[in-house]
């Protein structure tokens, strides 16, 4: 068992790191204080496990530790190359579309209304998972159309990302551009757009 402990820890680190990256936007929005320690601890564990694996190969000739290094290499490649946010947004678009359309209908019928003059709407209990911080943003909701943003990442001093429902396509999104310029719009599905802004 002791011979496999580094392999077990490497696999565990792979799983934890993948989950952390997958849910990073939610972690940042809801547990901001704990995010930075996590991003210090995980790379430290990676370096420690890599060094220990190399030392066991070099000093003890335990060549099974090449499996540990392979797992750690896979982890490094995933973190560097896998589009976590894009993959998660596309997965959740299908998974939560019905629930998000319920919210859109509640806003359209004024059963859900903004809590302030800015357009922020608190999601009802049980719907918090639809937006990274439990709120949606209503850009427009009138006879001319709807533009409603579900937060993917709500930046503070950096860019924000939203999944926007727009009945008027990209044109209506551009028409509702705020003082924070849009830097990217990508259509994912009819009425659904991936939008990045500089805020």
Structure confidence at residue 19 (pLDDT): 93
In a shared domain, residues 90 and 16? no
Q: Which tokens go with 49?
A: 């496990």
What is the CB-side half-sphere exposure of residue 10 using CA atoms within 13 A? Answer: 25
Beta strand 192-197 with 145-153 is: unpaired
- Cα 33 from Cα 36, distance rounded (Å): 7
Structural domain for 34, as ranges: 2-80
- Digit-coded pLDDT (tens) for 68-121: 999 999 999 999 999 999 999 999 999 999 999 999 999 999 898 888 888 889
| 20 pLDDT above the threshold of 70 | yes
Residues 124, 112 contacting (CB under 8 angstroms): yes
Q: What pLDDT, on a 0 to 100 scale, did the predictor assign at position 1?
A: 46
- Among 14, 47, 80, the domain-final residue is 80
- Distance from C-alpha of 9 to C-alpha of 68, rounded to nearest angstrom: 9
Is there a single domain that holds both residue 151 and residue 75? no
d(CA 167, CA 182): 18
- For tokens 């204080």, the residue is 33
> Do residues 102 and 154 share a domain?
yes
Single pTM value for the model: 0.81
As a whole number, the mean pLDDT across the chain is 89
| Whether 8 and 54 share a structural domain | yes
């Amino acid at each position: 068992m002791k011979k496999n402990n580094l392999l077990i820890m490497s696999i565990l680190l792979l799983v934890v790191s993948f989950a952390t990256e997958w849910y990073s936007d939610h972690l940042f929005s809801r547990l901001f204080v704990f995010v930075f320690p996590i991003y210090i601890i995980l790379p430290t564990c990676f370096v420690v496990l890599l060094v220990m694996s190399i030392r066991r190969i070099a000093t003890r000739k335990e060549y099974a530790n090449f499996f540990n290094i392979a797992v750690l290499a896979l982890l490094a490649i995933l973190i560097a190359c896998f589009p976590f946010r894009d993959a998660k947004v596309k997965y959740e678009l299908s998974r939560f579309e019905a629930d998000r359309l319920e919210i859109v209908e509640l806003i359209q019928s004024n059963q859900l209304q903004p809590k302030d003059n800015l357009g922020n709407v608190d999601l009802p209990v049980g719907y918090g998972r639809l937006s990274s911080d439990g709120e949606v943003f209503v850009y427009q909701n009138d006879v001319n159309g709807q533009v409603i943003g579900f937060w993917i990442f709500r930046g503070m001093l950096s860019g924000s990302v939203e999944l926007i429902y727009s009945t008027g396509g990209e044109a209506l999104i551009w028409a509702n551009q705020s003082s924070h310029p849009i830097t990217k719009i990508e259509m994912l599905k009819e009425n659904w757009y991936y939008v990045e802004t500089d805020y």
